[in-house]
Amino acid sequence: MSDDNIWSDAWGEQGEDWSGGGAKDKRLPRAPERPGVGATVSELGPGNFVVYHFHHAWEELLIVLRGRPLLRTPEGERRLEEGDSVYFAVGAEGAHGLRNDTDAPVRYLMVSTLSSPEVVEYPDLGQITAQARTASITGDRLWLIHDLEQKGEK
């Protein structure tokens, strides 16, 4: 099986982890510099997680390939089974986080619309990120993290 196969254990060269909790990601073929649809296979080892967040421009579809992750949404937490799929809308109603509190790895496919620029909010961290697939005035891709003031702080 090639590195582009969702069932393959060959992960090849991987970029930095942005999940917040130690996910191992495998990027599937896509047009990385253009808007469209992208897919990522990720694996969460026991105890790892994806930080609770929501997107302002990306819709996402999660498909569990292996394992039984715990999904957190605005409606609460629920256990997912292999083969389950969950759609995440744009905005706060699409907020989600994933945790592997089992003893076995969890592998899932995340399909996303790839709009640029994109803004993501992390309610538990009190952060908002702004990112784009184009260069900023720094010469690097735009990637800004804004820490929100807690209520009552100035």
**Range name among 5-19, 29-43, 66-80, 131-145 with the lowest pLDDT average:** 5-19
pLDDT value, residue 8: 75
Domains of the chain: 24-117 (2.60.120.10)
Residue 127 contacts residue 145 (beta carbons within 8 Å): yes
Q: Is the pLDDT of residue 153 over 60?
A: no
Averaged pLDDT for residues 139-150: 86
pLDDT value, residue 139: 86
- Continuous segment of H or E residues that includes residue 11: none
Among 125, 117, 120, 131, residue whose Cα is nearest residue 147: 125
Averaged pLDDT for residues 64-74: 97
Confidence band, pLDDT 50/70/90 cuts, at residue 31: very low
Confidence band, pLDDT 50/70/90 cuts, at residue 2: low
